[in-house]
Amino acid sequence: MKRLIPILLLMSLLSACGGSATTAPTPAPITAPAPTAASAPTAAPEPTAAPEPTAAPEPTAEPAASAYPVTIEHKYGETVIPAYPERIVTVGLTDHDALLALGVVPVATTEWFGGYPGSVWPWAQDKLNGTIPESLGDSSSTNFEKIALLKPDLILALYASIDEDTYNLLSQIAPTVVQPSDAIDYGMSWQDITRTVGKALAKETEAEALIAEVDAKFEQVRAEHPEFVGATAVMATPYEGIWVYGSQDLRGRFLQSLGMVMPEGLDEATGAMFGGNLSAERVDLLDTDVIIWLDVVPNEGPMAMPVYLQLPVHTEGREVFLDSYNDPLGGATSFVTVLSVPFLLDNLVPMLAAAIDGDPTTEVKHPLQQ
């Protein structure tokens, strides 16, 4: 009852102001991300012989009470989780994948895009065990009232853009964990999200095993495709012209994990954001060894720009085209989680290999649409 009273008071306050707060724009495939600090691309690793990936152990049962309390530091201070959380709500757009990978189904998730029940995409649906999380609504606002009614004992807002006022309100409902101070909004890596969720659940060993399993898959791909290592690559989408994703965006990090590098000058062109629009004078940055286009329309936008159509990346067929909204493979390029990355590696790598050969007669086949 002691906890219910402040929740009721909070709900009264929220009702008076509408019960939700508008959040910063999300980094959906055609929505501009929030401003962030850009950094230089990392050097591509040398190809090595990869070991066969080892299977991560199945998530263990609920940890012993002695594992708690758990303290997690983040950009607004630290959060103490007093006991194993039984009712977890995810405000972060992809946080639920890490929970599911560790054997926990959240009580509610935030809808980003795709429209799947519980906001759970096909690569993670086998982890639900018949339980569908409730929806908090779309990512345009934080539904404080609904979150309070769900009575969570932990709120995760890792792959998110949460200001301090929103954090303080959420923390009045339940312990709330946001990204660390060195992570940009919508820029926390899938590895760090998995580790943070693992710590919150007192399942750090299982989390590290999952990360190691996926990292081994990346290593295997680099060994099998030496043509990827050191090749320039970029992801782009036709948002307000041409929007490109920088080196600190999860899409850029995925390409770098394959051994590829961002084109020189990309982060300078995008400015203090993890992505940005290219001016007509910098369309040359798209002339990479391979480009992944999200949600382009034939003969429209970039596909109708003479300056782009003359670039070798186009004339030599070094392009991969994906649909974020109607194709799980396209959607996975925006999620980039511990569960979606293996799906990406299995299905996107053959397309990249076909595109990067520079032979325009090589068909870049979509493995799920043949």
DSSP string, 60-127: PSSPPGGG--EEEEETTEEEEE-S--SSEEE-SSSHHHHHHHTT---SEEEE-SS--GGG--GGGGGG
- Whether the CB-CB separation of 217 and 53 falls below 8 Å is answered with yes
Q: Counting Cβ atoms within 10 Å, is residue 21 exposed (0-12), middle (13-18) or buried (19+)?
A: middle
Query: Are 156 and 86 within one domain?
Result: yes
pTM confidence score: 0.84
pLDDT beneath 50, residues of the chain: 1-18, 22-26, 28-57
Where among 184, 212, 240 does a domain terminate? Answer: 212
Mind listing the pLDDT tens digit for each residue in 223-236? 999 999 999 999 99
Query: Are 235 and 283 within one domain?
Result: yes
Query: Are 141 and 181 within one domain?
Result: yes
Torsion angle (degrees, nearest 10) of CA 251, 256, 261, 264 = 50
What pLDDT is stored for residue 152 in this prediction?
A: 98
Quote the CA–CA distance of 192 and 194 in Å, as a whole number.
Answer: 5
Return the CATH number at 296: 3.40.50.1980
Q: Residue 28 domain-assigned?
A: no
What pLDDT is stored for residue 238 in this prediction?
A: 92
Q: Residue 341 domain-assigned?
A: yes
Where among 212, 236, 258 does a domain terminate? Answer: 212
Query: Are 145 and 237 within one domain?
Result: no
What pLDDT is stored for residue 269 in this prediction?
A: 76
DSSP state of 222: H
Q: Which helix (H) or strand (E) holds 156?
A: strand 154-157
First to last CA, the chain: 58
Distances (CA, A) of 243 to 71, 232, 294, 317: 38, 17, 10, 20
What pLDDT is stored for residue 27 in this prediction?
A: 56
Q: Which helix (H) or strand (E) holds 277?
A: strand 275-277
Q: Residue 314 domain-assigned?
A: yes
What pLDDT is stored for residue 51 in this prediction?
A: 37
Where among 212, 233, 254 does a domain terminate? Answer: 212
User: Among 243, 244, 240, which Cα is nearest to 252's?
Assistant: 244
User: Among 87, 65, 72, which Cα is nearest to 153's?
Assistant: 87
Q: Residue 307 domain-assigned?
A: yes
Question: Which residues span the domain enclosing 314?
Answer: 225-355
Query: Are 14 and 148 within one domain?
Result: yes
Distances (CA, A) of 73 to 104, 163, 176, 248, 369: 22, 16, 11, 21, 44
What pLDDT is stored for residue 19 in this prediction?
A: 53
Name 358's Cβ contacts closer than 8 Å, sequence gap at least 6. Answer: 316, 317, 318
Query: Are 349 and 253 within one domain?
Result: yes
Q: Residue 360 domain-assigned?
A: no
DSSP state of 369: -
Supply φ then ψ for residue 99, to 5 degrees: -60, -50
> Between 204-224 and 190-200, two packed helices, what is the crossing angle to 10 degrees?
160
Query: Are 181 and 236 within one domain?
Result: no
Q: What value does the CA radius of gyration of the chain take, rounded to a whole number of Å?
A: 21
Supply φ then ψ for residue 189, to 5 degrees: -65, 155
Query: Are 207 and 232 within one domain?
Result: no
Query: Are 186 and 120 within one domain?
Result: yes
User: 288: how many CB neighbours lie within 10 A of its CB?
Assistant: 24
Q: Residue 51 domain-assigned?
A: no
DSSP state of 290: E
Q: How many domains does the chain have?
A: 2
Query: Are 169 and 240 within one domain?
Result: no
Q: Residue 100 domain-assigned?
A: yes
User: Among 194, 212, 122, 119, which Cα is nearest to 156's?
Assistant: 194
